[in-house]
Amino acid sequence: MNSTLEQRAINTIRFLSADAVQKANSGHPGLPMGTASIAYVLWARHMRYDPQDPAWPNRDRFVLSAGHGSMLLYSMLHLSGYALPLEELKRFRQWGSKTPGHPEYGETPGVETTTGPLGQGFATGVGMAMAAAHLAGVYNRADLPLVDHWIYGIVSDGDLMEGVASEAASLAGHLRLGRLIYFYDDNRISIDGSTDRSFSEDRAARFAAYNWQVLHVADGNDLAALDQAVAAAKADPRPALIVCRTHIGFGLPTKQDTADAHGSPPGVEELAGAKEKLGWPTEPAFFIPEDVKEHFLAAGKAGQAAHAAWKELLHRYQQKEPALAAQFERVLAGELPAEMDASLPVFPPDAKGMATRQSSGKVINALAPVFPEFIGGSADLTGSNKTDFAGMVAFTPETPQGRYVYYGVREHAMGAAMNGMALYGGVIPYGGTFLVFFDYVKPAVRLAALMSQRVIYVFTHDSIGLGEDGPTHQPIEHLAALRAIPNVTVIRPADANETAYAWKAALENKTGPTALALTRQALPTLDRSAYAPAEESLKGAYVLKDYGGEPQVILMASGSEVPIIMDAAEQLAGEGIAARVVSFPSWELFEKQPQAYRESVFPASIRARVAVEAAATFGWHRWIGSDGAVIGLDHFGASAPFEILYREFGITAERVVEAAKHSLG
Amino acid sequence: MNSTLEQRAINTIRFLSADAVQKANSGHPGLPMGTASIAYVLWARHMRYDPQDPAWPNRDRFVLSAGHGSMLLYSMLHLSGYALPLEELKRFRQWGSKTPGHPEYGETPGVETTTGPLGQGFATGVGMAMAAAHLAGVYNRADLPLVDHWIYGIVSDGDLMEGVASEAASLAGHLRLGRLIYFYDDNRISIDGSTDRSFSEDRAARFAAYNWQVLHVADGNDLAALDQAVAAAKADPRPALIVCRTHIGFGLPTKQDTADAHGSPPGVEELAGAKEKLGWPTEPAFFIPEDVKEHFLAAGKAGQAAHAAWKELLHRYQQKEPALAAQFERVLAGELPAEMDASLPVFPPDAKGMATRQSSGKVINALAPVFPEFIGGSADLTGSNKTDFAGMVAFTPETPQGRYVYYGVREHAMGAAMNGMALYGGVIPYGGTFLVFFDYVKPAVRLAALMSQRVIYVFTHDSIGLGEDGPTHQPIEHLAALRAIPNVTVIRPADANETAYAWKAALENKTGPTALALTRQALPTLDRSAYAPAEESLKGAYVLKDYGGEPQVILMASGSEVPIIMDAAEQLAGEGIAARVVSFPSWELFEKQPQAYRESVFPASIRARVAVEAAATFGWHRWIGSDGAVIGLDHFGASAPFEILYREFGITAERVVEAAKHSLG
């Protein structure tokens, strides 16, 4: 205990973390012990944060991309005065604690994003830096830098090996996101052993190739070198990767620098050995020297002062730019503009109609002027996804106020970056790709759902209706895969007006992502004087029309298959069979309706049912029960003009008629 | 027409391709027109192939990673004499043709892999090169180089932007796969316009950082430079990226070097303009000069001669190494070793039991000695996935005969590389990660299914049973997502002996991938004298036991939830309710059974049913009908010891009993 205050502070981080892992008998001691000095330099010397108000908009962000090292973050949050009592650290990884195994957004004050699946935190931080650059571009005025802070992170070997981090790094370099400063925990160990086994690339050269500034800290415990690196990073307009040579499980007598230090409790003896080695009292566990406690709390207090100064700045801003200030507060609160409903286009009936991707494009164009927080983009399919809008400006280093992101062919980074933007706040991100490439985005979609973030996916070319590009581009299982994820709302509108309401539902869904599944091919715009109003689609499923009196059979479909069941219902009516046609754009919206409404659409007494979707039948049995039928595609598609595919694969009114009769017995 | 034979040959490629796109009124003319010279140099000067036997094991492979340029490949295959008549080129992208929109493995002779989703071809080629290096390491003998060829590819900007290509490139450099030679079609245009919009990294420096040899061809039509680059690539032990400056839509008078040349027919006038510009007759379409035809066929004939020489070499090999030769032929034929069944371990009853990941590890260990074609690995979770085996040697540049791949934290590249290995043949790849990280592998799993490849995924930690790592690591929707994919067999065994049969089923499944879902936590090994034999699990679902006479209610579960329904059945029997317990490890295997068998397991007359799975309930309604219940998790998990999670989330025998009674009415 005769070391410096700084060293004691760093050892406090190490052993708070290791003690918690040991007590839980589960967790990852290696990273916190190896990177404690980095965390110290950040929290004590560089980061601006207000532990009393973790949501202060101009705070620095910290992303622990290597989320398995969660105890590092919990130690820092506790020490710097966040509402995370020591008791919670002692309940690490236990039911109901605020200290889950990986950092979970919303569970712990001060945790900026959920991390754990490697690479995601890296790419999410890129999104945060995009949002910060954008908001600074929109709102900052001379001498009034409302948005003026940094995004820090610790990233691991595993993060850098993941493709999503590569995509995001390339994008960040391209966009010159200079506010991004990542420490690379270069400990040369992964779970399978030495990184020599699988990871021999020149990481520094790779990041330089991405247009990053690459800095080196030869000893990850060298505080002066870490300090200097941060200063150099701040002085450079590029994103920075600070390559820090660290030692996993630093201090552990036999496990340091081995994979054994990564993901298991060190063991009582090994932990005691580490404490002895680093001059730390072996007892009590969770020991925090009084001066260390004060030291960290002082850092938090400095942040509070910075926050107070920022509030004054905001006040001056409000005086000078009242309209912008009001907008800033509205968008940060996540409130929608009052003009939204009035701006939604109403599409006139049209037998020829248009593709729902096209009506979606018209909705985007209508909303963009009244939605300054709308920030769109596409993974290099702008013209196909119809995600662009009139008069838009690209988001570039020169035009950070721009609201359109050319993500390149980087679906996964797009998804993760949108998470970062949504978490950051002040923007509502939407991004486009083909529905089949949801596969590439999936890990990020899951995190959006888990973190309850308002992210909107514009998934076009949503079936075999895409035609000639063939099976690699035709989604089959994707609607099922999306619907199976908790807290994802999937909407597949059947015409232009349902598409407008799909957008409304997506924008109003503040607690989770929404996936819009949109056609490539044209669909008729229904004449709503003859059918139920399109607004009913907000309920997820609704009776479009009962054909020929008291219904005997229910036909249900989503999107492009609704016209097919309408045709079938006509044919059935001609044969004296009364069919109900249900447009079913969203299972999730429907499930939220009261039981009485659901029963009114699908009365239990009508057991003859046919569901139609040009996709896997998987999951539809829930709606058709034991006696119904599903018409879909439980095989891959093919390359041909789409009308031929519908016919050859039997997604036809004739087959629906047949199935309806069969279901009626 | 007064140009050289070579130029005429190259223009033939350009205009065959463009004419086909124009005729189909759909497709991508830009790539074939821009890279025709590269294809020419490869097919006419470097590649060894036998158009009469596209499966010749020692042929050079060609991967068109930018699969949208499929007409380039079809033109080459037609011209060089594969069984792809001109008539098929005229039916490009039409129903039933051999020329689908993207190259589809199995549809067209000479197409080595399905490509289209960008990045996949790149990474699949890496897998092919791994298989080639491995088989060369195992089988080649002095003066008897059975496996001695190259893997070529054309990759695009889009490929290089995709994360999976980054992962695979890093892996290929690490493994020093010197037989890999990729041409980078550096045309500086992507769908959204100039690559300056989104892709400004230094690609050459990035690949050098991955330990690739990077070569430059300043003019993609400079045949001598292309030639020299290939020669230099062959002479270097590293994988090679040949950066070729090309022009998308080369020759198109107004569309060359624009995004308009990428994915739409050029138009009649524009196409005629290109023909005029390049000195080509505007009529007839699909024109092939006689001397060009002969020229390409001669190249194919040279390949036939090489094939004949190789057959002689094989003959000498058979004389000298009869056992190895027989093994070579067996593994290339994809036949399983005769010893497989006898080698499968039988696990004695054990109430404490073991995790199915552990029994899987024991199966791997039992099979590895008799399966020389088994090539395993893990995405840096070897100890957790239990994918390693005694005495194994790592696959490295120094030990290419090694059968274990340290993939690093690169799940996606692992999946795509396994596709490449399976396509290559001679090996059966399996690879491990956590089930939740199936999300990262998904795009490659879909391709394995689409291409009917025998790839085995060892997905461990298959539920909330993984415990403390929490929701980011606990699969919920993943079983549903896997089951929804056509042609993927998912098996979730309930005990050690079911696990052995799961492996047998996976190995015997020659026409598609198999995903094994395995527990982290221990499961009892059932005493099969009291229950149906474990071999029944090969049928996908089977009656483990009827508790208390003629069943009134069916309880069904997979994997770790089977012991829970067994417990519930006991309790129900105690209350005088007869329950049938069905172990249901695989929906897909069950669906393949005759209707009579399926009816015998789930008689239509028994409508009271309860399904239990610690996962999303999505899809189970198919098996429980209108009157049954599903107990599962339609929300994310949490971080806590797994027993607590099961209790708190209600995956308990008590709740099954309750649901069974409710279902009985």
d(CA B158, CA B26): 20
* Min Cα separation A553/chain B (Å): 16
- Chain centroid offset of residue A371 CA: 20
Q: What is the DSSP string of A353-419?
A: EEEHHHHHHHHHHHHGGG-TTEEEEESS-HHHHT---TT--B--SS-TT--EEE--S-HHHHHHHHH
B538: CB partners within 8 A, 6+ apart: B501, B504, B505, B589
B356-406, pLDDT tens digit by residue? 999 999 999 999 999 999 999 999 999 999 999 999 999 999 999 999 999
CB atoms within 10 A of CB B644: 16
**Partners of residue A193 in chain B, C-beta under 8 Å:** 406
Q: Which residues pair with B557 in a beta bridge?
A: B583, B612
Q: Which residues in chain B come in under a pLDDT of 70?
A: 1-2
Q: Do A208 and B203 touch (CB under 8 A)?
A: no
Catalytic residue among A162, A167, A270, A411: A411
Query: How many whole angstroms separate alpha carbon A64 and alpha carbon A48?
Result: 16
Q: Which member of B408, B412, B439 has the closest CB to residue A190?
A: B408
pTM here is 0.98
Tokens of B537: 């699990």
**Which residues of chain B neighbour A450 with C-beta distances below 8 Å?**
471-472, 636
Report yes or no: B423 and B178 within 8 Å, Cβ to Cβ: no
Q: Which residue of B191, B210, B641 is in closest CB contact with A383?
A: B191
Provide the sign of the torsion angle of the four alpha carbons A327, A329, A332, A337, taken in this order: negative
CB contact under 8 A, A102 and B470: yes
CB contacts of A468 in chain B (<8 Å) are 24, 26-27, 93, 101
Check if the beta carbon of residue B336 is closer than 8 Å to that of residue B507.
yes
Nearest by Cα to A403 from A125, A139, A131:
A131
Which one-letter DSSP state was computed for residue A548?
Answer: S
| Contact across the interface for B472 and A480, Cβ inside 8 Å | no
8-state DSSP, B199: -
d(CA A501, CA A511): 18
Cβ pair B104:A639 closer than 8 A: yes
CA distance A342 to chain B (A): 32
Distance CA B507, CA B59 (A): 26
The closest CB to that of A209, out of B209, B468, B472, belongs to: B209
Q: Comparing C-alpha atoms, which of A433, A473, A381 is closest to residue B192?
A: A381
User: Torsions phi, psi of A191, nearest 5?
Assistant: -60, -40
| Positive or negative: CA dihedral B578, B582, B587, B593 | negative
Is A152:A183 a contact under the CB 8 Å cutoff?
Answer: yes
How far B46 CA lies from chain A's nearest CA (Å)?
Answer: 30
Contact A468 B412 (CB under 8 A): no
Are A209 and B203 a contacting pair at CB < 8 A?
A: yes
Pull the structure tokens for residue B383: 């100890």
Cβ distance A101 to B443 less than 8 Å, yes or no, reads: no
Which residues from B are below 8 Å from A165, CB to CB? 163
Q: Is A68 exposed, middle or buried (0-12, 13-18, 19+ CB in 10 A)?
A: buried
Name the phi and psi angles at B266, rounded to 5.
-65, -25
Residue A3: what pLDDT? 85
Distance from CA of residue A586 to its chain's centroid?
20
Question: What is the structure's pLDDT at B356?
Answer: 98
Residue contact B170–A161, C-beta within 8 A: yes
From chain B, the residues in CB contact with A159 under 8 A are 409
Given a cut of 90, whether residue A1 has pLDDT beyond it is no
Nearest to A625 among B165, B205, B626 (CB): B626
* B486 closest CB neighbour out of A174, A195, A634: A634
pLDDT tens, position by position, A269-309: 999 999 999 999 999 999 999 999 999 999 999 999 999 99
Residue in B with minimal Cα distance to A635: B486
Chain B residues with beta carbon closer than 8 angstroms to that of A622 = 621
Q: Between A27, A163, A616, which is nearest B166 by CB? A: A163
Name the nearest CA neighbour of B118 among B219, B41, B28: B28
Asked if the Cβ–Cβ distance from A199 to B408 is below 8 Å, we say yes
Report the chain B residue with the minimal C-alpha distance to residue A162: B410
Q: Do B410 and A115 touch (CB under 8 A)?
A: no
The closest of A590, A597, A605 to A551, measured between CA atoms, is: A605
* φ and ψ of A457, to 5 deg: -100, 130
pLDDT over 80 (residue A510) = yes
Which residues in B lie closer than 8 A to residue A163 (C-beta atoms)?
119, 162-167, 410, 412-413, 440
Q: Is the peptide bond before B493 cis (omega within 30 degrees of 0)?
A: no
Contact B467, B645 (CB under 8 A): yes
Choose among A127, A91, A120: nearest CA to A108.
Answer: A91
| Mutation target vs A (from B167, B202, B384, B439; most A CBs, 10 A cutoff) | B439
User: Which residues are bridge partners to A630 per DSSP?
Assistant: A611
Q: Per-residue pLDDT tens for A372-391?
A: 999 999 999 999 999 999 99
Peptide bond into A284 cis (omega under 30): yes
Q: Taking CB atoms and an 8 Å limit, are A477 and B468 in contact across chains? A: no
Residue with tokens 């039997």: A650
- Cβ contact, residue pair B409, A118, below 8 Å: yes
Q: Strands A522-525 and A350-355: what pairing? A: antiparallel
With beta carbons less than 8 A apart as the criterion, state whether B246 and B220 touch. Answer: yes
A638–B95 C-beta distance less than 8 A: yes
Nearest to B616 among A210, A384, A484 (CB): A484
Any idea how long chain A is?
Answer: 665
Q: Measured between CA atoms, how close is B610 to chain A, in angstroms? A: 14
| DSSP, residue by residue, A446-506 | HHHHHTT---EEEEES-SGGGGGG-TTTS-SSHHHHHHHSTT-EEE--SSHHHHHHHHHHH
With a cut of 80, say whether residue A2 has pLDDT above it.
no
**Does A411 participate in catalysis according to the annotation?**
yes
Active-site residues of B, by number, are 411
Question: Residue B626: is it exposed, middle or buried by C-beta count within 10 angstroms (0-12/13-18/19+)?
Answer: middle
Torsion-angle region of residue A655: left (phi > 0), alpha (psi -120 to 50) or beta? alpha
3-state SS, B333-349, equals HCCCCCCHHHHCCCCCC
Average pLDDT over residues A411-426: 98
Q: For chain A, what is the mean pLDDT?
A: 97
Spatial separation of the C-alpha atoms in residues A221 and A10, rounded to whole Å: 9
Chain B residues in contact with A199 (beta carbon < 8 A) = 170, 174, 408
More confident residue, A231 or A3: A231
Interface contacts A/B by beta carbons within 8 Å: 351
Check B197 against A406: CB less than 8 A apart.
Answer: yes
Our CA-based measurement puts residue B571 at a distance from the nearest CA of chain A, in whole angstroms, of 28
Which residue in chain A has the smallest CA separation from B123?
A163
> In Å, what is the CA distance from A54 to each residue of A59, A126, B287?
8, 20, 70
Candidate from B94, B483, B639 with C-beta closest to A640: B94
Report d(CA B310, CA B292) in Å as an integer.
28
Which residues are within 8 A (CB) of A413 and not within 5 positions of it... i.e. 6 or more apart?
Answer: A123, A126, A164, A167, A168, A170, A171, A407, B163
User: What chain A residue is nearest to B195 in terms of C-alpha separation?
Assistant: A408
pLDDT value, residue B1? 52
Which string of b and e fits A193-220 if b means at least 16 CB within 10 Å? bebebbbbbbbbebbbbbbbbbbebeeb
Distance CA A645, CA A648 (A): 5
The answer to whether the Cβ–Cβ distance between A206 and B210 falls below 8 Å is yes
Q: What ipTM was predicted for this assembly?
A: 0.98
- Which residues are CB-contacts of B193 (< 8 A; sequence separation ≥ 6)? A406, B259
Distance CA B490, CA B513 (A): 9
- From chain A, the residues in CB contact with B202 under 8 A are 208-211
Phi-psi region of A380 (alpha: psi -120 to 50; beta: other; left: phi over 0): left
Q: Which of B21, B384, B412, B469 to mutate to test the interface with A (most CBs of A within 10 A)?
A: B469
Residue A298 DSSP SS3: helix
Residues of A within 8 A of B185 (CB-CB) are none
- Distance CA(B443)–CA(B461), nearest Å, equals 21
Give the integer Cα–Cα distance in Å for A613 and A621.
Answer: 12
- Closest partner CB to B116 (pick from A199, A394, A472): A472
Burial status of residue B405 (CB atoms within 10 A of its CB: 0-12, 13-18, 19 or more): buried
Q: Do A648 and B95 touch (CB under 8 A)?
A: yes
Cα(A483)–Cα(A496) distance, integer angstroms? 22
Task: Determine, for residues B199 and A162 on separate chains, whether the beta-carbon distance falls below 8 Å.
Answer: no
